Amino acid sequence: MSRVCIVGAGFTGLSAAYELASAGYPVTIFEKDPAVGGLAGSFRVGNQMLEKFYHHWFNSDRYIMDLVRKLDVEDKILFRESRTGMYYSHRFFKLSSPMDVLRFKPLSFPNRIRLGLGALAARRIENWTNLESITAREWLLQLFGKQVYEVVWEPLLIGKFGKVSTEVSAVWFWNKLKLRGGSRAKGGAEQLVYFKGGFAALAERMAEEIVRLGGEIRTNCEVTRLDVFDQRAVRVHSHSETVEADAVILTTPLPIAAELLKPHTEPDYIAGLGRIRYLSNICLVLELDRSLSDLYWVNVNDPSFPFVGVIEHTNFEPASSYGGRHIVYLSKYLPREAELYNMPHEDLLDFSINALRRMFPDFSKESVKAYHVWRADYSQPIIEKQYSALIPDVRTPIENLYLATMAQVYPEDRGTNYAVRGGLQVASMVKARLAEVASAI
């Protein structure tokens, strides 16, 4: 039967491979990292795996939930109420429920109502295509007015996208409001979802199933070259081996896919792939002997603070899972050339602790029992106006080569749920095409 080679063992590559292997196709996944999981990959803290970059699901994330059910590990899904807050003007505010919004002092009372009603109105929008032609800034100002925009949304937009924040499309922000605002328990409190054993446990479970179905997963195996003959990809090369392919799926960030495709496609096509820009992300993960606050997720609405979020993971998954250590992520999206992104680890730690002490004056370096720094060059596509026109098709100019990447997730923003959807979609296309080819022989 025809062999499908998949480049990348993130959630897109794994779900495509699982789907194809379930249908009886031999699959080979190439992954440059030592382990599967991609951006949702993990590392060990004590006896437990922890995501390099904080991860949770929303309770509406149906593609991943369906997958979990199919893999027969539904009992590992953990629904949890989460406490979200905001750091603004040197104070913390809880912002998890409608009551919290009504008590949110930095806004005038009428504007607190406007914040709540605006968020509800945003969530009710179904037809997002009208939002494609305006920026998030323009849309948010219209919907929420100046005070709500300046206190609540503008610092977040700038904190996340920096210099390009004024280019971000309303579609991106609409989706954030819809997704996060919609993930609620019955009483109206925010509810998020985690997986027992972490995202690594799910990625490993998928890998195990792919192998059981006859698939192969090559880790530490970076794809360096493709052979294309007569407009068909025929071989995939890594440093250590070469595999013959009847179809190839690339799930890497677009700039990496472009490098692999460059020798085989027209310059215009490669330029089109390059048109989508990405931000990088740096996460400093602290293992602490104490908790910082009772909030899981703190949006930092203070432009002088170097990180956009302080995420105390152990207010979501208990510290007991990590040998009593309290886990805090400090996250920042930024261009690859930014100073913070390139800082030596020790300097980054000292710099971050100084910043944290402004927020938590009792905090000291002695509480840091270990720390880890994770970087991802391509972590967030910049969703600008009319983004739909920039998205490359899953089909490429090479007949049996497909692209299924994070940057093609739209109008939703990237996420493992949509990675699974993308993986399933591309697998269906590949199956249909291979069946067509087989029946023509």
Ligand X SMILES: Cc1cc2nc3c(=O)[nH]c(=O)nc-3n(C[C@H](O)[C@H](O)[C@H](O)COP(=O)(O)OP(=O)(O)OC[C@H]3O[C@@H](n4cnc5c(N)ncnc54)[C@H](O)[C@@H]3O)c2cc1C
Question: What is the length of the chain?
Answer: 441
CA-closest candidate to residue 416, choices 32, 60, 64, 20: 64
Q: Locate 205 and state its tokens.
A: 């479970």
Please pick, from the candidates 4, 25, 45, 53, the single residue that binds ligand X as defined by CB under 6 A: 53
d(CA 312, CA 322): 13
Question: Is residue 307 within the footprint of ligand X (CB under 6 A)?
Answer: no
| Stretch of 10-18, 104-112, 163-171, 389-397 contacting ligand X, by CB under 6 A | 10-18
Please pick, from the candidates 4, 5, 6, 11, the single residue that binds ligand X as defined by CB under 6 A: 11
State the number of binding residues for ligand X (CB under 6 A): 36
Please pick, from the candidates 417, 427, 430, 434, the single residue that binds ligand X as defined by CB under 6 A: 417
Q: How far is CA 419 from CA 42, 49, 405, in A?
A: 17, 21, 8
Q: Give me the amino acid identity at 322.
A: Y
Please pick, from the candidates 414, 424, 426, 434, the single residue that binds ligand X as defined by CB under 6 A: 414
Q: Do 7 and 196 form a contact (C-beta atoms < 8 A)?
A: no
Question: Is residue 327 within the footprint of ligand X (CB under 6 A)?
Answer: no
Q: Which is nearer to ligand X, 208 or 289 (CB)?
A: 208
Q: Which is nearer to ligand X, 107 or 328 (CB)?
A: 328
Q: Which is nearer to ligand X, 150 or 413 (CB)?
A: 413
Please pick, from the candidates 143, 254, 356, 419, the single residue that binds ligand X as defined by CB under 6 A: 419
Please pick, from the candidates 86, 148, 217, 223, the single residue that binds ligand X as defined by CB under 6 A: 223
Question: Is residue 420 within the footprint of ligand X (CB under 6 A)?
Answer: no
Q: How far is CA 387 from CA 87, 124, 159, 160, 276, in A?
A: 31, 21, 21, 18, 9
280 bridge partner residues:
334
| Stretch of 88-96, 147-155, 413-421, 425-433 contacting ligand X, by CB under 6 A | 413-421
Please pick, from the candidates 3, 56, 160, 326, the single residue that binds ligand X as defined by CB under 6 A: 56
Q: Which is nearer to ligand X, 296 or 363 (CB)?
A: 296
d(CA 58, CA 60): 5
| Stretch of 112-120, 126-134, 291-299, 408-416 contacting ligand X, by CB under 6 A | 408-416
Question: Is residue 222 within the footprint of ligand X (CB under 6 A)?
Answer: yes
In DSSP notation, 155-218 reads HHHHHHHGGGGGGBBHHHHHHHHHHHHH-B-TTS-BEEEEETTHHHHHHHHHHHHHHHTT-EEE
Question: Is residue 197 within the footprint of ligand X (CB under 6 A)?
Answer: no
**Angle at 222 (CA atoms; ends 221, 226), nearest 5 degrees:** 115
Question: Is residue 408 within the footprint of ligand X (CB under 6 A)?
Answer: no
Q: How far is Cα of residue 53 from the mean position of the Cα atoms in its chain? A: 9
User: Least distance (Å) from ligand X to the CB of residue 168?
Assistant: 16
In the complex, the residues that contact ligand X under the rule CB under 6 A are: 7-13, 30-33, 38-40, 53-57, 222-223, 251-252, 256, 281, 283, 331, 376, 379, 405-406, 414-417, 419
